[in-house]
């Protein structure tokens, strides 16, 4: 698992475990600035950029790559097929531009 500190921006694999056992307190801290404001991050499988884990698709793609792929797909459909061909693709194969 990879973390990013929301205070200083440091990216790391192992957070510092801060504990106060006498009061039952434990927290994960940034090893650089000791902030406990951390987020889990992962690389997008397509572009390799670090993104918040919860913002990636279930398959590991960032929103930007999904949007670019959708736009590219729609562009290709419009450029390669005539209107009647697009109708055939829609009705016979359920292939149509993505909203």
User: Is 89 within a domain?
Assistant: yes
The pLDDT assigned to 21 comes to 87
User: Is 83 within a domain?
Assistant: yes
Query: How far apart are alpha carbons 75 and 64 in whole angstroms?
Result: 16
Burial of 48 (0-12, 13-18, 19+ CB in 10 A): exposed
Quick: pLDDT tens for 38-93.
999 999 999 999 999 999 999 999 999 999 999 999 999 999 999 999 999 999 99
> DSSP of 40-95, one letter per residue?
EEEE-TTT--EEEGGGS-TTS--HHHHHHHHHHHHHHHHHHS-HHHHHHHHHHH--
User: Is 73 within a domain?
Assistant: yes
Statement to judge: residues 8 and 38 lie in one domain: yes
| Domain region containing 13 | 2-43
The pLDDT assigned to 78 comes to 93
Give the chain's domain count.
Answer: 2
User: Is 48 within a domain?
Assistant: no
Bridge partner residues of 2 (DSSP): 41
The pLDDT assigned to 86 comes to 93
Please, which residues have CB within 8 angstroms of residue 13's CB and are 6 or more apart in sequence? 1, 2, 3
The pLDDT assigned to 1 comes to 87
Whole-structure pTM value: 0.75
User: Is 8 within a domain?
Assistant: yes
């Amino acid at each position: 698992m990879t973390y990013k500190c929301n205070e200083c921006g440091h990216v790391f694999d192992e957070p510092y475990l801060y504990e106060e056992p006498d009061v039952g307190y434990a927290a994960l801290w940034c090893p650089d600035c000791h902030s406990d404001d951390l987020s889990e991050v992962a690389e997008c499988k397509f572009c390799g950029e670090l993104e918040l884990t919860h913002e990636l698709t279930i398959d590991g793609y960032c929103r930007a790559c999904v949007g670019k792929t959708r736009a590219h797909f729609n562009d290709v459909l419009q450029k390669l097929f005539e209107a009647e061909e697009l109708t055939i693709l829609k009705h016979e194969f359920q292939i149509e531009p993505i909203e």
